[in-house]
Structure 1
Amino acid sequence: MKAIAYQKFGNTEVLQTVEQKKTIIKNDEVLIKVKAFSINPMDWKIRKGEMKLMSGSSFPKETGADFSGIIEDAGSSDFQKGDEVFAVVKNMMKDGASAEYIAVPASLVWKKPSQITFAQAASIPVVGTAALTALEKMGNINSDTEILVNGATGGFGMFLLQLMKHKSAKITAVTSTKGFEFAKKWGAQKVIDYSKDDVLSQNHLYDIVLDLSGKMGYNAVKKIMKPQSKFLNPTPQPVEIPTSIFKNLFTGKKHIIVLASPSSKYAEKLIAAVNGGLEIEINKVFDFRQTQEAYQYAEKGGFIGKVVVEIKS
């Protein structure tokens, strides 16, 4: 079978198409014929070696974490061959979703809602779980809570804005001009165009700030945070994970790390949200042979929704 793998850390040029033996499943696993996998920022942070303390430095490595497809071998699970599903790899730091067939624990596989495409389903686990985790980290929010979401119309923001709709908070979204209507449709009351206004220069202070773009950083954001507030960071540098815990002991402005761990608890909530009308915007779909180009496109940023790679064989 074909897979996308790399033999060293680096930019997109290290991604290569390789031949591998078809995976044999273990007792608790199912084998899935992959139809699509989505692209997440953590993919290239791992590929570039920024997360090597957690990913390790052994090669080859594959890329991608969440995917969709069709059950090829259900093993001892309750699935049936032919079921349309979406799933996530067991260890996002060490495993990859960029292959024609993938064996994963049945506990990390869920039936695809019939009204969405494979590309949309592949986009659910990582950013959907991250959005739900961010909501948990916010704690109790109400109509007086002022929240700023930077990078609000990418994949993470798309889920987060829609999931926050029923929380009654005052949401300000920071996005590009082309993201304005999406941000408003998904639940933001106010939208700031980052190409025209510097959000860090405004006088307004927030209870919660989420930097989904990874471009602002806690030290820069502190100036627009209230004395007792939270900065939620879903794209931390490895050193920030332990140091934030220590620093939070001495300040009212908390630096909260958001790490997503997809599970059935989150998947069931996300499936319910999709069945309830949550939109999944796919910005662009690339063919498996264009995986390098897909990552080049995704890493430039500035798009709405998700970027996905499809396997059409």
Structure 2
Amino acid sequence: MRAVTQYSFGGPEVLELTEVARPRPSLNEVLVRVRAAGVNPIDAHVRSGALPLLGRPPFTVGWDISGVVEEVAPGVSRFVPGDEVYGMPYIPLAANGYAEYTVAPSRQLARKPATIGHVQAAGLPLAGLTAWQALADAARVQDGQRVLVHGGGGGVGHLAVQIAKALGAEVLATASAAKHGFVRELGADEVIDYRAVDFADAAGGGVDVVVDTVGGETAVRSLDVLRPGGVLVTIVEMRNTDLAKQADHRGLRFFGVTAEPDHCALEALAELVDAGKLRSHVAHGLPLADAARAHRLIGSGSTTGKIVLTV
């Protein structure tokens, strides 16, 4: 089969399209014929060596997949060959998503949303699970609460805006001026141009939950907009113990969130998609051979929504 392999750490140019042996599923696993693979910032961090999750190369990056079950191993009762599935298996171990076939534990996958194709589905798992686990699991967002999403036009942010809205929240989001129309279309009640105004002044305080996708001073200053007992959920400053202490000192709650494989959350996301309440916006769909170009795009930091490789 074809797979994108890298033999050294480095820039996008280290990603090579190669021929490798097709994997075989072990107990409780399925073999998936990958139709599309999502590209995420973590892929680029692992590729460069900045985040050495997979040890030394050679290896294949990629965790977001959507495809068709080709084979099931003993122990699998959730799927049969031909089922369309999506998910984010194995993270932080290798899932080998940039490939024509991959194996995954059956309980780390869910049935693909019926109303969308594989390309859109592949843009959903990692970012969608991150947003869902931040809002529904960590913050436990309730109807009528005010939620501020930083980076509302980004990969996680654009899904967080929609999920918060689906949970019944009033949603504020920060975004550059060029992305304001897009973020409003997602359902944001108010969009703040963080380059033109102070987001803390614009939010006006009384925020119940902040979802931080930016980090740094944005995360620190987000404490100022939260009401007593409010929640700061960050996907960037997870290890920032000083920030956690500041939040606790102010009577606020702090959560650092990274996406975990979770078929129940994937099923919840699929229900929102099929109900017309959630969509992953795919800005670029590129062939597997263009993985290096996809990584250059993700490295630019200016993409609206998601980048997906078609297989």
Report TM bin, short chain: 0.7 to 0.9
2:92 aligned partner: 92
- Bigger shift: residues 158-167 or 62-71: 158-167
Judge conservation of contact 1:42–1:235 (CA < 8 Å) in 2.
no
Superposed, 1:46-65 pairs within 5 Å as: 46-52=46-52, 55-65=53-63
1:236 aligned partner: 237
User: Residue 47 of structure 1: CA displacement?
Assistant: 2.6
Number of positions where the alignment pairs a residue of Structure 1 with one of Structure 2: 306
- Bigger shift: residues 245-254 or 79-88: 245-254
2:220 aligned partner: 219
- What percent identity do the matched residue pairs reach? 27
1:188 aligned partner: 188
User: Residue 46 of structure 1: CA displacement?
Assistant: 2.6
User: Residue 84 of structure 1: CA displacement?
Assistant: 2.2
User: Residue 72 of structure 1: CA displacement?
Assistant: 1.9
Change (3 A) 1:69 1:229: same
Taking only aligned residues, the RMSD between alpha carbons, in angstroms, comes to 2.6
Judge conservation of contact 1:86–1:111 (CA < 8 Å) in 2.
yes
SS at match of 1:126: helix
Letter in 1 for 2:281: E
User: Residue 62 of structure 1: CA displacement?
Assistant: 1.6
* C-alpha distance in structure 2 between counterparts of 1:107 and 1:191, whole Å: 37
* C-alpha distance in structure 2 between counterparts of 1:245 and 1:216, whole Å: 14
* C-alpha distance in structure 2 between counterparts of 1:56 and 1:134, whole Å: 25
User: Residue 190 of structure 1: CA displacement?
Assistant: 0.7
2:14 aligned partner: 14
Judge conservation of contact 1:61–1:95 (CA < 8 Å) in 2.
no
Give a deviation string over 1:62-117, Cα, whole Å, max 9, x none. Answer: 21111111222223434333322213222334333111110111222222233211
Letter in 1 for 2:100: E
Structure 2 gap segments, 5+ residues each: none
Letter in 1 for 2:104: V
Judge conservation of contact 2:108–2:262 (CA < 8 Å) in 1.
yes
User: Residue 253 of structure 1: CA displacement?
Assistant: 4.1
SS at match of 2:285: strand
* C-alpha distance in structure 2 between counterparts of 1:94 and 1:302, whole Å: 27
1:265 equivalenced with 2:259 (yes/no): no
1:73 equivalenced with 2:71 (yes/no): yes
2:29 aligned partner: 29
* C-alpha distance in structure 1 between counterparts of 2:202 and 2:182, whole Å: 23
Judge conservation of contact 1:171–1:190 (CA < 8 Å) in 2.
yes
2:275 aligned partner: 276
- Bigger shift: residues 95-104 or 221-230: 221-230
Q: TM-score, normalised on structure 1?
A: 0.86
1:38 equivalenced with 2:76 (yes/no): no
